[in-house]
Amino acid sequence: MKITRIYTDADGESHFDELEEPGVEFRSNANYTRAIEAYGLMFRTTEPLGDAPALGDWHTAPQRQYVMFLNGETEIEVSDGEKRLFKSGDVFLVEDTTGKGHRNLRLHKEPELWAFARAH
C-alpha cells in the first residue's frame, strides 16, 4: 500500500515522499498491512462550496498524523512548489509540523470527508 508522506526539511521547506506499507497477511481475498499504532481518530467534513475551486491558506500539521481522504478530490501543494492530486481512498502521513507547511485546493463543490489519526 502506498502512503504519501509530507515532511519538513532542515530549511523549513515541505516536501512529498512515498512510503510503502507492505502486506503482511493475505486472507479473505485481501492483503492486510501490519497494525499501525495511531490514536485519537477524528473526522472532518467541509461544507459545500458556492464556487469551486477554493484555495486554502498555508498551514502546518497540528501533530504528526495519518490522514485518510474518504470523499472528494483535492490538490495539495507543499512549500517546495510540488502539487499532487488526492482523491477518495488516498492515505498520507503528515509530518510537516514546523516550517512553511502546505495548502489544499478544493477542486469541486461537494462536501469532503477526511479522517485523522495521531501517529506514534
Does residue 57 form part of some domain?
yes
Does residue 56 form part of some domain?
yes
Does residue 63 form part of some domain?
yes
Does residue 22 form part of some domain?
no
Does residue 25 form part of some domain?
no
Does residue 20 form part of some domain?
no
Count up the domains in the chain and report the number: 1
pLDDT in tens, 8-33: 999 999 999 999 998 899 989 999 99
Domain range enclosing 58: 36-119
3-state secondary structure of 9: coil
The pLDDT, as a whole number, for residue 48 is: 86
Q: 108 and 90 in contact (C-beta within 8 Å)?
A: no
CATH code where residue 76 lies: 2.60.120.10
The pLDDT, as a whole number, for residue 108 is: 84
The pLDDT, as a whole number, for residue 51 is: 79
The pLDDT, as a whole number, for residue 7 is: 98
Does residue 8 form part of some domain?
no
Four-residue CA torsion sign, 58, 61, 66, 67: negative
Q: Which ranges constitute the DSSP H helices of the chain? A: none
The pLDDT, as a whole number, for residue 96 is: 98
The pLDDT, as a whole number, for residue 44 is: 95
Q: Which three cell numbers stand for residue 53?
A: 475551486
Run means of pLDDT, 10 residues per run, the chain, 120 residues: 96 97 90 93 91 87 96 95 96 97 91 94
pTM: 0.90
Walk across the sheet containing 14-20 and list its strands: 14-20, 2-8, 91-94, 65-71, 113-119, 38-45
The pLDDT, as a whole number, for residue 109 is: 86
